[in-house]
Chains A and B, each alone.
Chain A
Amino acid sequence: MDFLRPAGWSEALEAKANHPDATPIAGGTDVMVELNFDHRRPETLLDLTRIEQLREWSRTERNGVPTVRIGAAVPYARLIEELGTTLPGLAMAARTVGSPQIRNRGTLGGNLASASPAGDGHPPLLASNAEIELESVRGSRTLPLADFFTGVKRTDMAPDELIAAVHVPEGTGPQQFSKIGTRNAMVIAVCTFAVALHPRRRGVGTGLGSAAPTPRSATEAEEFLAGALAEDGQWDDPRPLPASVTERFGELVARAAAPIDDVRGTAGYRTHALHVLARRTLSWAWDEYRSGTELSGRQRCA
């Protein structure tokens, strides 16, 4: 096995162009498991850990919206520590990933490239309308995250491309993330749900994980809720949400799922749980919006 260790980004892109079948490795928390289980026998590993710029994040503006550009190799532990208030939904999801060791090593870019339906980073990014920046020696392109996932563990990434960064519009309202697992830590999701309220554009974002072949948004649920909030003048004068609204929202979220039965849970349970999570997370987010907090994630746990 060859082990390529580019010192910089352009060198990495060169290497990937010359070895399109090389497997990039960042935190290695997916790659090493696959090697151990003999699920993958790459001829070449392309180590990304020496590339400084992949481990940086910065605040920018995209199309007039304050946005955080997160380098592909930023680990979960730093998303929690450094972006907990700016991107609360993502930080909440990061907190549920694996164990402290995994959060120290595992990266958002690795999570996206693995494209597991159970990747915990995906739902909050979808709820925030994040975009992904791919680059190769041919140039760079940015596409909505929803277009990036093409199937179970399949993405739109070309063989010579690497993930450079993720662009996440800064939250303007409360965000929540919930994950079902049958143990209280270190568990792969049975299903997940993320919701983000976007008061500035009067919108609602959602993301579902482990609920379909690819992470997806519950578009109908988003539209329903945004409509209901607008209709009742709730954005400007927030009052308790009627049960009929949260209930309907839950129903529509559950309806957006296309889950399967597997060793982690049944399709029926996943649908049920998504309904419950959608209702609960919406009520938490709404309570927070009503209590005037700009952002959620004044975190309950460190």
Chain B
Amino acid sequence: MSDTHAPAHRPQDLDDAIAGGVGESPLRPDGTLKVRGDFAYSSDLWAENMLWGATLRSPHPSARIRSVDIGPALRSPGVHAVLTAEDVPGRNLYGLKDIDQPVLAEDVVRYRGEAVALVAADHPETARRALDLIEVDYEVLEPVVDAELAAHDDSLPKVHPGGNTVRYQPIVKGDPEVTADVVVSGTYTVGMQDQAFLGPESGLAIPAEDGGVDLYLATQDLHTDRKQTAAALDLDPELVRMTMSGVGGAFGGREDLSMQVHVCMLALRTGRPVKIVYDREESFFGHVHRHPAKMYYEHGATRDGDLVFVRAQLYFDGGAYASKTPVVVGNGTTLGVGPYDVANVSIQGWGMYTNNPPCGAMRGLGAVQPAFAYESQMDRLAEALDMDPVELRIRNAISRGDTTPTGQVLDYPAPVAELLRRVRELPLPEAPAAGAEPDIRDLPGGASNTTHGEGVVRGVGYGVCIKNICYAEGADDFSTARVRLQNVAGEPLAMVHTAAAEVGQGLVTVQQQIARSELEVERVNIHPNDTSVGPAGSSSASRQTYVTGGAVQAACRAVRERLLAITAERFGEPAAELSLSGGKIVSRESGVLADIAEVLGSEAIEETREYHHRETFPLDERGRSERAQVQHAFSAHRAVVDVDTELGLIKVVQLDCSQDVGKAVNPESVVGQIQGGSAQGLGLAVMEEIQVGEGKIRNPSFTDYLIPTILDMPPMNVDVIERGDPNAPYGVRGVGEPPTISSTPAIVAAIRAATGRDLTHVPVGPEHIIG
């Protein structure tokens, strides 16, 4: 195994048993506060003398701006600043991959909701009212709203000067023209899902005396925010200091900038602290969503059920700006056949610009959409072959040593078949006792009393998926950790400092667990996340326990090395013979030498380390790459669903999951991730869709954008297995995303089993079921 990066990375032989103190489930430090409502989120920030910012947004999906008159707004009492594109101090563009999105629209607006102007006022209501006084003269243009059309019809208007294609990627493996005994095809669509995090976008910017600005905010990636914000503000990045401040969920929706540059511009202009908090409706316009997709699939197999080929064309609607569209196309195409071994593959993926709401990162990025399609296809194929759908999947499951469609050999465990077998073995729900009156809350419709059993049919369905973990296709993916060990009140205390965003996933706990177990000290503190330490990258791609976990491990080991070196010198024992245990330094020869506290004395040992995972490489024009992705994760779901076939209402009765997590650093958090991810996948299966018509969101509220409640999310059997990845710290494998991916197709398969309907769109609505 080559290690082309920093010395922090060591391959470990972790295939079987994984030892170490890591593996317990301590409670989250923020858990009680959150449950009691005492936790301060970024929306709770407050500063003396603070102003409130508000954002004027485009009412049109596509328009030319003829003029903007800020005069009346500026004259309105209580208003301290009104800013437009002209006031952007630096580069009026930002973006995660392609730098294509204006901080404030200049001559055109490309989506309904695009930011056009900003106001700072002494009261949020004053700011909002001032927005109404800004006069923008728009020349309304015909929007581009169909991604598939945009890919092939050159006569459509160009959303951006360079054309409407953000990324086109083909993947070809084997013979794309090969034929097969049995062929099934289908067209599948996925609606636009929202991350629906509960804490809206918010930040507080405080201008600093050195000409810089301190921004307290909720985000997924401090350094990437800082880089983009500094460029727009025309400031040295060192002068843009960011501190994480209570994140109320993220799920990808906080990867792109929202209010960051805006609130800093207002603070720097007025010389006063400025706070921006979106309300729920604005939040729907203020962040990216999951890409809607249209997918054409064709699967060919032998009569015995061996997959011969998969061919697909995938269209992803990226909306007005690129955001993560290039990655969605990369993930969607490379993972487009699913966790199966397929000799002949031809997949083409298009990520398109349109005038729809911008789409970007969301849990399961680019893997959710094709999973719905390829798993639907596997069920179709099983039916055509008259085979059991789980057997068909097991027969074709990818495993260690197999080659992915991009030519990458899986050099770590890939227990797909095992997961399918295991999830099938989990207990099924007990049938209700004969003659017993069902509790209506257990039936489709729940408390709404729509059935007492009439029309209700039960179905069972399966889904399994593959997701790449960490950044891919040649991105230098790393995280940084600074660990400081010193005595505080006579006891050794390890302080872990990273910029890795705690977005609710439990990273704070994981970092402490790693430090405790590496340094054998009781007390570990987490320094607030900020930009005074090196980058951690985003809390996305299920990557933080892997990369930041790796960085904390490496920094701890560097600290330990120094501590042991000091001890070796003091006690005249070779450092190689020393180890840490229970707060003490132990020599192999002579047993306990000293307490860590004793050796430390008044000294502090501080080390900073970067962790870079194994190098990945870009895809070539045929989609080949020696290693496009650093790791893959797998999960399998079984759904049991009751459907009221007359009314089209659904009750997911049970949702079970088997997942390989490599190593469960915190087993309870792992189960929490699987439950939460499954709930989000359930949402996509049966209710969550941003309805967009002619470029406009029709349901920007939690009244009409429905997410699952406790009566929708059933109990789960969660089966966690640990087949360590020898290339990853502790053998970990990303956990957060897979359950979001495989739950959706499992639920839809169960609804199909109950209704006999094709169901080619998610979310499945009553109309699809009653037809």
Contact = CB atoms under 8 A, between A and B. Distances in A.
Contact of B767 (A38, A263, A266, A300): A266
A167 interface: no
B448 A178 contact: yes
Given A272-B770, A300-B439, A184 B704 contact: no
A179 B446 CA distance: 10
Nearest to A33: B703
A178 B450 CA distance: 5
A180 B450 CA distance: 7
Contacts, number: 101
Nearest to B767: A269
A92 B449 contact: yes
B766 A265 contact: yes
Contact of B447 (A38, A96, A272, A273): A96
Contacts of A277: 450, 647
A284 B687 contact: no
A301 B770 contact: no
Contact of A263 (B281, B449, B454, B691): B691
B440 A300 contact: yes
B703 A179 contact: no
B646 A276 contact: yes
Interface string A175-198: 011111111111110100000000
Contacts of A178: 445, 448-450
B441 interface: yes
23 contacts: A37-B279, A92-B449, A95-B447, A176-B449, A177-B449, A180-B445, A180-B448, A180-B649, A181-B448, A182-B649, A182-B765, A183-B706, A183-B709, A187-B706, A263-B691, A263-B699, A263-B704, A269-B767, A272-B770, A277-B647, A280-B452, A300-B437, A300-B440
B128 interface: yes
A184 B767 contact: no
Most B CB within 10 A of own CB, among A179, A181, A183, A300: A183
B537 to A, nearest CB: 35
A179 B767 contact: no
A75 B128 CA distance: 33
Interface string B263-289: 000000000000000010100000000
A273 B446 contact: no
B255 interface: no
B517 interface: no
A188 B704 contact: yes
A141 interface: no
A264 interface: yes
B622 interface: no
B701 interface: yes
A187 B703 CA distance: 7
Q: Across the A-B interface, give the 7 residue pairs with the lowest CB-CB distance, nearest first.
A: A184-B446, A185-B711, A184-B711, A179-B448, A263-B699, A185-B709, A183-B706
A265 B437 CA distance: 30
B451 interface: yes
Nearest to A272: B770
Given A178-B449, A263-B691, A301-B439, A184 B709 contact: yes
A36 interface: yes
Given A185-B712, A284-B452, A36 B279 contact: yes
Contacts of A183: 687, 706, 708-709, 711-712
Nearest to A300: B440
Contacts of B489: none
A184 B445 contact: yes
A266 to B, nearest CB: 6
B447 A185 contact: yes
A184 B651 contact: yes
A37 B280 CA distance: 9
Interface residues of A, number: 36
B709 A280 contact: no
A38 B648 CA distance: 35
A276 B440 contact: no
B1 interface: no
Interface in B293-351: none
B765 A280 contact: no
Given A182-B765, A269-B770, A37 B448 contact: no
Given A269-B770, A301-B440, A280 B454 contact: yes
B463 interface: no
Contacts of A272: 770
Contacts of A185: 446-448, 709-712
A162 to B, nearest CB: 26
Contact of B703 (A38, A177, A182, A188): A188
A265 B687 CA distance: 12
Contacts of B704: 188, 263-264
B246 interface: no
A276 B709 CA distance: 25
A182 B709 contact: no
Contacts of A96: 447-449
Most B CB within 10 A of own CB, among A95, A263, A269, A273: A263
A179 B701 contact: no
A300 B765 CA distance: 27
Interface string A247-281: 00000000000000001111011001100110010
Interface string B652-678: 000000000000000000000000000
A278 to B, nearest CB: 12
Nearest to B765: A182
Interface in A184-220: 184-188, 190
B688 to A, nearest CB: 10
A99 B446 CA distance: 13
A53 B122 CA distance: 41
A36 B128 CA distance: 12
A38 B54 CA distance: 14
B695 interface: no
B34 interface: no
Contacts of B444: 184
B66 interface: no
Contacts of B281: 37
B268 to A, nearest CB: 28
Contacts of B691: 263
A44 B348 CA distance: 60
A272 B450 CA distance: 13
B400 interface: no
Contacts of B160: none
Most A CB within 10 A of own CB, among B281, B448, B712: B448
A277 B766 CA distance: 14
Contact of A182 (B128, B455, B698, B706): B706
Nearest to B451: A280
Nearest to A120: B448
Interface in A46-104: 92, 95-96, 99
B767 A265 contact: yes
A37 B701 contact: yes
A184 B448 contact: yes
B386 to A, nearest CB: 34
A171 to B, nearest CB: 16
A178 to B, nearest CB: 5
A288 to B, nearest CB: 11
Nearest to A269: B767
B79 to A, nearest CB: 17
Interface in B699-743: 699, 701, 703-704, 706, 708-712
B447 A184 contact: yes
Contacts of B449: 92, 95-96, 176-179, 300
A182 B691 CA distance: 15
Contacts of A266: 767
Contacts of B708: 183
Given A179-B449, A184-B712, A280-B454, 10 more contacts: A37-B701, A181-B448, A183-B708, A184-B447, A185-B447, A188-B704, A190-B766, A269-B767, A301-B439, A301-B447
A299 to B, nearest CB: 9
